[in-house]
Amino acid sequence: MLKSERISFIQAKLSALYPDPPIPLVSDNVFQLLVAVLLSAQCTDERVNKVTPKLFSLAVDAFQMENVPIETIYQIIRPCGLAPRKSKAISELSRILVQEYDGQVPNDLKLLEQLPGVGHKTASVVVSQGFGKPAFPVDTHIHRLAQRWGLSSGKNVVKTEEDLKKFFPKESWNKLHLQIIFYGREFCTARGCDGRTCEICRTCFPKRSRAFIAKKS
């Protein structure tokens, strides 16, 4: 199967399975989305969604979060892991948003990346899911699937993001990012598929005889 054929098949299959994929992290505004995405680093969305209701009951926006003691934030978000670093980042970014952005989350990728605890992937999720601007956030799972499906060389997440943006129409990036996440969780997991099991892997590479070992990002 040619790469162009793989791309067409993958997009068609994902669109059929997930025509309107929901945003996995629960939030009521862009600030809460930013905090939730920050918490999701090395943590499942399911666990984040269990933790954030209590946190957001104390602070619904940056103005309120700025006044929540770091220790209180820490105690609430401990189940998400990396709590000392994340609680400090949440407190500091809230202060910066209040002082420099009138409490509003900027919709610019570069400005978001300057906030404490906000890397490129987190910023990409916020601009795409919070503001609807085209972006293609790539986490380790998407990085691994892109390799299995022959869409990227897999050297690092930066290269994978570049490749995916090149192969798929810009208007599809935001939805496709979510579609790949949901497909990976359901059919192409790290343990459940070795590059030869799920339908996309089997269709794209029907002659693959050995387990595919993805390169780490």
Question: Could you read off the pLDDT of 60-101 as tens digits, one per residue?
Answer: 999 999 999 999 999 999 999 999 999 999 999 999 999 999
Of 130, 145, 173, which residue constitutes the final position of a domain?
130
pLDDT tens digit sequence for 96-132 = 999 999 999 999 999 999 999 999 999 999 999 999 9
| Structural domain for 125, as ranges | 30-130
Q: What local confidence, expressed as pLDDT, does residue 94 receive?
A: 98
Residues 34 and 12 in one domain: no
Q: Domain holding 103: CATH number?
A: 1.10.340.30
Residues 41 and 121 in one domain: yes
Nearest-CA neighbor of 6 among 175, 142, 206, 179?
Answer: 206
Q: Do 79 and 51 touch, CB atoms closer than 8 A?
A: yes
Residues 125 and 46 in one domain: yes
Give how many domains the chain has, as a whole number.
2
Residues 126 and 169 in one domain: no
Residues 41 and 116 in one domain: yes
Q: Tell whether 210 is covered by a domain.
A: no
Average pLDDT, the chain: 96
Q: Tell whether 212 is covered by a domain.
A: no
Q: Tell whether 214 is covered by a domain.
A: no
Residues 36 and 124 in one domain: yes
Catalytic residues: 121, 139
Q: Tell whether 193 is covered by a domain.
A: yes
Residues 35 and 109 in one domain: yes
Residues 142 and 171 in one domain: yes
Distance between CA atoms of 104 and 29, rounded to whole angstroms? 10
Return the axis-axis angle of helices 140-148 and 157-167, rounded to nearest 10°. Answer: 60
Residues 126 and 179 in one domain: no
Q: Do 173 and 133 touch, CB atoms closer than 8 A?
A: no
Of 115, 130, 145, which residue constitutes the final position of a domain?
130
pLDDT tens digit sequence for 180-194 = 999 999 999 988 999
Residues 149 and 68 in one domain: no
Q: Do 77 and 99 touch, CB atoms closer than 8 A?
A: no
